[in-house]
Amino acid sequence: MEVTADLAQGRFLRLSALSTAFVIACASTAFAQFPSFKSTRPAGPKEILAPLPAEKPLPPEVSFGAFRPFNDIDRFILARIKQEKVRPKELCDDWTFARRASLDLVGITPALEDLERYMAWDKRERREKWVDLLLDQRYYADRWTIVFGDLLRERGGIPGAPTNALRDYLHSALERNVAFDELVRNLVSADGDPNQNLATGFLLRDRLDADVLAVSVTDAFLGVSLKCAQCHDHPFDYWTQNDFKGMAGFYRGTRRDFSGESLGVRHDRRRAQGRFLTGATSEQGAGPDALAELITSRKNPYFARVIVNRLWERMMGVGLVNPPNNFSPLNPPSHPELLDWLAIDFIESGYDLKHTLRLIALSRTYQQSSSDSLATWASVVRHNKETPTEADDIVPGSLFEGMRLRRMSAEQVNDSILVATGYYSQGYRGNRPSAQTMYPPRPRSFLRIFGASDRETIPTGVADGSIQQALSLMNGGFVNGAVRSHANHPIRRWRESRKLNGRQLIDAIFYQVLTREPTKRERKWAMDIITDSRGDAGWEDLQWALFNTREFQFIR
């Protein structure tokens, strides 16, 4: 009540102490200023997600003609598609699969050399071997460091920590495929000298501010946004300012330690006073160690569901729960049993990210052809013969009866162009090019124009088109520099070491950029422009044109 009274006069608690990012994101609504709304907030114990069942839900038996399930994921998906009387799409071809899986798992279009191996494999085991090859590539860690970097708002420059501390920590953990629960525990309860323990970069990124960390941790690992609760009690939501304060309490004793030789991060457990969102308690007390334990506990109904949903969203283009940071009984999953199945399977695998990614990639669901007409709000509601309301607001494609045609992310466009043209110097760990960029990318940079995350607000980047992107791809210094015949260009390598002739070179470029062979007509158009040009101008024009096609910029 006191809190509400304060709010009625427009006082927002501790707001000035928060970082700009969170002030911007801070969702406060004027409803809070009318006490009459207060009664609509659910009273009594908090309704949280149901606990994960003790065992995996049984995948439904499903017979659907020629659409046979590849693994258990497909049984859940096909059963639902059948129930909604929608028809699933055919499987995509091998080239499409190679390209899609490569962009999703390692973030770049496949290299010519890898494609040659792929096509040489026996057709029956080709796709499985391809997924294993990708998951073993060093690019894997690069790709997922960007994904988790967006989620944790990683920045290259964190005061008090070595440059790129958090990214180096994530990269190394992902490279070793550290169990995800362990990774999260290390981040959430990081302490000690930042030079020795790079995971402290996560806490230092928000200057050890307990309030900001509460929002950050809860959003990233529990899929719950506390941005409103930070400032006031939300009239229509479960989470109150009291819950927010409880989560922030875990970090109340977290300080820089100025007594030792270096400025370490230290947790004073006596000052910590955390209360976990779900009401669960820990024998480890109420500090970051307890928080780490409570988050990653098998009994926490959020943690495993939230991460498998994020992986699903990255692979499929839309989450089972959407948006992925709104886990709430009010926002049920499109496929609740599949979500639980994936979560328990993930736990049983030892929180193995690669295990779940592999499972998704090898499902029939993931291998369907892309479609331009997936079931939408209108079609599903019409099918159910109900009058649509705003509550029926479903995201198109949530039945997963086919793949969405997705626009590449900023990093996927950037890195695919760089790898295809060799337009980079060996740098950061010798890995893929965008891994050399210090995050967040500069304003007006290629990555930003293409929607890379600014690493300020928690949600990640976007992949929508714009006029600026078209101008940048046609006229920008980046693409035009990359297609030029520079010393590191693979065309030179193919010409010199592989002794490819003109026609073979054209084919190689098509494979490298579009992951397919050119058609006869396309080969002729390419040949014409090359023979009509002086020097390497025709080769430049060919690559320029390929990078500007829709086919390149979309994941089919």
Partner 1 sequence: MKRIDCTGCESYRAMTRRQWMRAAVGAAGGAGFLGLLDPRVLYAKPAKDRDAESVVVLWMGGGMSHLDTFDPAPGTDHGGPYAAIDTSAEGIQISEHLPRLAKGFKHLSLIRSMTSSEADHSRATYVMHTGYPPLASMQHSTIGSIIAKYKGRSPRDENLPPYVSIGIDWAAGYLGPKYAPYYIGNARQSDATLSPPQGIGRERFKRRLKLLNDLDRSFKAKHRKNDALKAFAEHYNAALLMMRPKTARVFNLDEESTAVREAYGAESAFGQGCLQARRLVQAGVRFVEVSLGGWDTHANNFEAVAAKSAELDQGATALISDLIRKDLYDRTVVIIASEFGRTPRINANQGRDHFPQVWSVAIGGGGLVSGRLIGASDQGRAVKERAVRVGDLHATLCKALGVDYKQTNYSPDKRPFRIVKDEEARPIGELFG
Please pick, from the candidates 114, 132, 193, 454, the single residue that binds partner 1 as defined by CB under 8 A.
454
Nearer of residues 133 and 375 to partner 1, judged by Cβ: 375
Q: Which of 259, 373 has the CB closer to partner 1?
A: 373
Which residues in 191-250 contact partner 1 (CB under 8 A)? Answer: 225-229, 234-237, 239
Q: Among candidates 272, 319, 440, 347, which has minimal Cα distance to 51?
A: 347
| Size of site (CB under 8 A) for partner 1 | 96
Q: Cα separations (Å) of 276 from 233, 244, 261, 285, 297?
A: 17, 9, 34, 11, 12
Which of residues 234 and 432 has its CB atom nearest to partner 1 in the complex? Answer: 234
Q: How far is the CB of 124 from partner 1 (least distance, A)?
A: 27
Q: Report the distance separating Cα 310 and Cα 166, nearest Å.
A: 20
Q: Return the number of the residue (94 or 541) whose C-beta is nearest partner 1.
A: 541
Q: What is the DSSP string of 519-541?
A: PHHHHHHHHHHHHTSSTTHHHHH
Q: Is 462 in the site for partner 1 (CB under 8 A)?
A: yes
CA distances from 54 to 51, 301, 340, 344 (A): 9, 12, 10, 8
- The C-alpha atoms of residue 449 and residue 146 are separated, in whole angstroms, by 17
- Inter-residue long-range contacts of 484-492, CB under 8 Å, 24+ positions, other chains counted: 484/536, 484/540, 485/535, 485/536, 485/539, 485/540, 486/422, 486/423, 488/422, 488/423, 488/424, 489/421, 489/422, 489/423, 490/112, 490/420, 490/421, 490/422, 491/536, 491/539
Compare residues 430 and 477 and give the one whose CB is closer to partner 1.
477
List beta partners, residue 407: 554
Query: How many whole angstroms separate alpha carbon 181 and alpha carbon 508?
Result: 42
Q: Which helix (H) or strand (E) holds 144?
A: helix 139-151
- Measured from the CB atom, is 118 or 450 closer to partner 1? 450
Q: Please identify which residue in 5, 24, 58, 438 interacts with partner 1, judged by CB under 8 A.
A: 24
Which residue of 3, 4, 12, 355 would you call a contact of partner 1, by CB under 8 A?
A: 12
Comparing CB distances to partner 1, the nearer of 278 and 334 is: 334
CB of 214 to partner 1, least distance (A): 14
Neighbours of 261 (CB within 10 A): 6
For residue 458, what is the DSSP state? S
The residues in 510-539 that bind partner 1, with binding defined as CB under 8 A, are 519, 521-522, 525-526, 529, 537
Q: Give least dist CB 121 to partner 1, A.
A: 27
The least distance separating partner 1 from the CB of residue 113, rounded to whole angstroms, comes to 24
548, 473 contact by CB (below 8 A):
yes
Q: For partner 1, give the closer residue by CB, 308 or 320.
A: 320
Helix (H, G, I), strand (E, B) or coil at 376: coil
Interacting span for partner 1 (CB under 8 A) from 71-79, 141-149, 184-192, 467-475: 467-475
Output 14 or 299, the one with its CB closest to partner 1.
14
For partner 1, what does the binding mask look like between residues 28 and 67, x meaning CB under 8 A?
xxxx-x----------------------------------
| Residue 433: alpha-carbon gap to chain centroid | 18
In whole angstroms, how close is the CB of 475 to partner 1 at the nearest point? Answer: 4
Interface pattern 284-313 for partner 1 (x via CB under 8 A)? ------------------------------
**Is 466 near partner 1 (CB under 8 A)?**
yes
**Can you tell me which of 457, 492, 494, 536 binds partner 1, judged by CB under 8 A?**
457
If the CB atoms of residues 38 and 117 are measured against partner 1, the closer one turns out to be 38
Contacts of 234 (CB under 8 A, 6+ apart): 29, 32, 41, 228, 240
DSSP states along 335-353? SHHHHHHHHHHHHHTTS-H
- Which window, 139-147, 186-194, 276-284, 548-556, contacts partner 1 (CB under 8 A)? 548-556
* Smallest gap from residue 210 Cβ to partner 1 (A): 19
Residue 306 tokens, joined: 């939230």
Residue owning tokens 């792929």: 118
Amino acid at 505: L
Answer for the pair 144, 353: CB distance below 8 angstroms, yes or no.
yes
Residue 173's nearest CA partner among 152, 193, 204 is 152
- Exactly one of 3, 19, 23, 492 binds partner 1 (CB under 8 A); that residue is 23
Segment 405 to 424, residues that bind partner 1, using CB under 8 A: 405, 407
Chain Cα centroid distance, residue 70: 25
Contacts with partner 1 in 377-396 (CB under 8 A)?
377-380, 388, 390-396
Binding residues among 476-495 for partner 1 as defined by CB under 8 A: 476-477, 480
Least distance in Å: CB of 67 to partner 1? Answer: 20
Which one of 163, 195, 242, 331 is in contact with partner 1 (CB under 8 A)?
331
Q: Which stretch binds partner 1 (CB under 8 A): 155-163, 171-179, 279-287, 330-338?
A: 330-338
